[in-house]
Structure 1
């Protein structure tokens, strides 16, 4: 038996069918049309006449109601509502006896929603507009409809309804959300279904490897940011993700989403599809994401020399978005012909995901130390790279967040050139090779986008504390522990790490005030020591 039965009442043209259609689309409701039930009963009686004409339909309905007070509708609904549908919508009822019979049979499953318009003239206008489109042979005017005694008394049903809505003062979308709220159909806003992964330093913290590892536990993989950040993943042939979520290949069933705050280069996106083999049909791009043009890239050439920018046009595109608010939406994804096959509302995708109780992995790019607002200006990127900034770009409330994982390298890096200061003492790659015991030619540290030789420094404990705080870290991920000691490459459990590494990780926990839940020992599919006491979904 259906768990909820929504009974709609209201004058002709009040918006009942539109609400029923909305409940069907958004909440998979089964819609039962009393007009069709009447026609079936009429045909079963082998009556002569045309029940596709409104007047005849009104009169036959009155005939049935006169026989049993409207109980016939409850009988018919019982027949069609035997399945386990979560929601059945009856469009519509016309007399109180029909509602009382339904309540008597189905009890608290029944929700009565009454629609009306405070502007009666609007009902007449709606009726005139729909007369040519209706499946019924309509009457000549709205006044003629109201001449039927039963129809004229329909407004009195409002006093018996659980919810009364004015369709003159509300849009169809407003009516739908108000009805859904009353029925308890809206997703719980406190359901914490989102886990965030952000960088705690200056980018290149190994987030791609971590996202690849975590991805199989999620239903939706989401990314924001722009193509100035490349995340490498440990596929058989190493791939770099610059737009597509990094876990796409690790979880073939997950949907992929790029949020409205993202900046997209169509050229980079299609190259990425070709390189990674990710099915483009899985990807959804919000129409309000910004598109990079060749002119944006050209405009950033000077920044490469000035601040070590990757020069991908992301900042220029963001500036153009801010300055170009003259009504021209062609600068957005919705105005790009190449991106139109991917367009879909991130808001809608997230709402559906949350309503279904599904989990989201939200992947940030770059690192907290590069935040436009919180990094050391001007040596920053063009966006806020903190967890709060990532949520803003995605359009996700902080109430949805369950875990915030902040990733740190054992030796933070910045891109080569005049890319800005680092808190720890700057080192050479020969220093790292000497300390770790790794051959120098094994340590190849170049930017995945710029290909510039990276700079490296001592671990920054002050940055660790601040980044853990500003991001609200619930978990810390530490990567490149093989740079502490090459023996860590052979560790698959925490206790197999060197004693010096364990001491380092314990101190990280004390300073950050959060557990080190994920430890990356090298770049491979089995390179993450997992110490979490939580999961997304249990893998099947």
Structure 2
């Protein structure tokens, strides 16, 4: 599988290192510095010496020195950390980019940052050498790279957090918005029903569990975005009786929801059908989880399969499904039952 390498280019003070650090901190990219590769070729720490050496190495290696440094670093880091993508700060010439793009096993994404000269001078970390460095041929060559980039961002008009969002979106790091990765568990018309047994039953099938009635912290927006980007499935147990309130509390968009399970309790003849219809209209459940109580529990407590239910219980379930517009997928044969009857694999 190809390793993704994000190559950042841009003039002095454009925000290249800030972007690379953001990708490393927020999305786990491994940050590679071109100045580290230059040191291996005898480069010094001054900007002028790095510029001079860059021109020399581009001429003698055809720009391959950067690709060779990246490939050597990638081999070590992939083997050591099982890393899957990297950000290179920074490329400064067309031949360096050509060398990277010609390297087997790399998926190169080139991001170019721009900013006007007055802004560069204000941001420069070595202000005493700006004019000399700005006029150097190596720095002049950087401006031509914008036409070769996959994404160009003007950092004078775009703050650092917005630059990071634009680049991350270009890389697909936020996942696909239309993916249905979230399932909800919501208490039905009787809000006092215990949803925890169903949550415990389903939780092993998910990568992320959010229990809104719990005391622990919920995942942050960034943690959820990371989960969605990886295609992780998320189970949310609501603290209330509405799916919309559950989603708002968990900060999850409705378009992420795959299934909504509404948990109901029924004693049979005393069941409140009006409240069930209202709850179903409000929550649009895809599935029901039913807890039998009273006479229904007394005659069905030993059931382990749906076909072991009494005729009265089966008829009651059928009517529940008609009123709610959803199938009973899970059944607790009594409030004290330690098992759930599952109609089909989840």
Q: What TM-score do you get using the length of structure 1 for normalisation?
A: 0.60
Residue 329 of structure 2: which of 517, 521, 526 is its match?
Answer: 517
Tell me the alpha carbon deviations over residues 204-231 of structure 1, each in whole angstroms, 9 at most, x when there is no partner: 122122223222222322233xxxxxxx
Say if 2:215 is the partner of 1:403: no
> Greater shift after overlay, 483-492 or 168-177?
483-492
Return closer, same or farther for 1:517/1:361 CA change in 2, 3 Å cut-off.
Answer: same
> Greater shift after overlay, 191-200 or 201-210?
201-210
Residue 183 of structure 1: which of 171, 186, 193 is its match?
Answer: 171
Structure 1 segments unaligned to the other structure (5+ residues): 43-49, 132-137, 225-242, 245-268, 270-282, 286-344, 368-385, 412-434, 436-456, 535-540
Q: Which whole-Å CA distance do the structure 2 matches of 1:510 and 1:355 have between them?
A: 37
Q: Which whole-Å CA distance do the structure 1 matches of 2:96 and 2:240 have between them?
A: 62
Say if 2:202 is the partner of 1:214: yes
Tell me the alpha carbon deviations over residues 148-174 of structure 1, each in whole angstroms, 9 at most, x when there is no partner: 121123111111111101111112221
> Greater shift after overlay, 30-39 or 84-93?
84-93
Alignment match, 2:160: 172
Equivalent residues in 2 for 1:37-186, closer than 5 Å: 37-42=37-42, 51-82=44-75, 83=78, 85-106=83-104, 109-117=107-115, 119-127=116-124, 131=125, 138=126, 140-186=128-174
> Helix, strand or coil for the counterpart of 2:6?
strand
Q: Which whole-Å CA distance do the structure 2 matches of 1:524 and 1:142 have between them?
A: 76
The alpha carbon displacement at 1:115 in A equals 0.4
Q: Is the 8 A contact 2:291 2:332 kept in 1?
A: yes
> Helix, strand or coil for the counterpart of 1:89?
strand
Alignment match, 1:31: 31
The alpha carbon displacement at 1:2 in A equals 4.7
Equivalent residues in 2 for 1:286-365, closer than 5 Å: 346-365=220-239
Tell me the alpha carbon deviations over residues 412-434 of structure 1, each in whole angstroms, 9 at most, x when there is no partner: xxxxxxxxxxxxxxxxxxxxxxx
Return closer, same or farther for 1:395/1:157 CA change in 2, 3 Å cut-off.
Answer: same
Return closer, same or farther for 1:16/1:366 CA change in 2, 3 Å cut-off.
Answer: closer
Say if 2:296 is the partner of 1:484: yes
Q: Is the 8 A contact 2:112 2:153 kept in 1?
A: yes
The CA RMSD over aligned residues, in Å, is 2.2
> Helix, strand or coil for the counterpart of 1:192?
coil
Q: Is the 8 A contact 1:482 1:521 kept in 2?
A: no
> Helix, strand or coil for the counterpart of 2:330?
strand
Tell me the alpha carbon deviations over residues 501-526 of structure 1, each in whole angstroms, 9 at most, x when there is no partner: 11111121122221100111234573
Q: Is the 8 A contact 2:121 2:127 kept in 1?
A: no
Q: Which whole-Å CA distance do the structure 2 matches of 1:284 and 1:77 have between them?
A: 39
Q: Is the 8 A contact 1:476 1:518 kept in 2?
A: yes
Q: Is the 8 A contact 1:6 1:90 kept in 2?
A: yes
> Greater shift after overlay, 494-503 or 101-110?
101-110
Return closer, same or farther for 1:29/1:150 CA change in 2, 3 Å cut-off.
Answer: same
> Helix, strand or coil for the counterpart of 1:170?
coil
Return closer, same or farther for 1:353/1:402 CA change in 2, 3 Å cut-off.
Answer: same
Q: Which whole-Å CA distance do the structure 1 matches of 2:128 and 2:239 have between them?
A: 62
Say if 2:274 is the partner of 1:462: yes
Q: Which whole-Å CA distance do the structure 2 matches of 1:498 and 1:81 have between them?
A: 64
Return closer, same or farther for 1:160/1:512 CA change in 2, 3 Å cut-off.
Answer: same
> Helix, strand or coil for the counterpart of 1:5?
strand
Structure 2 segments unaligned to the other structure (5+ residues): none
Return closer, same or farther for 1:482/1:209 CA change in 2, 3 Å cut-off.
Answer: farther
Q: What TM-score do you get using the length of structure 2 for normalisation?
A: 0.91
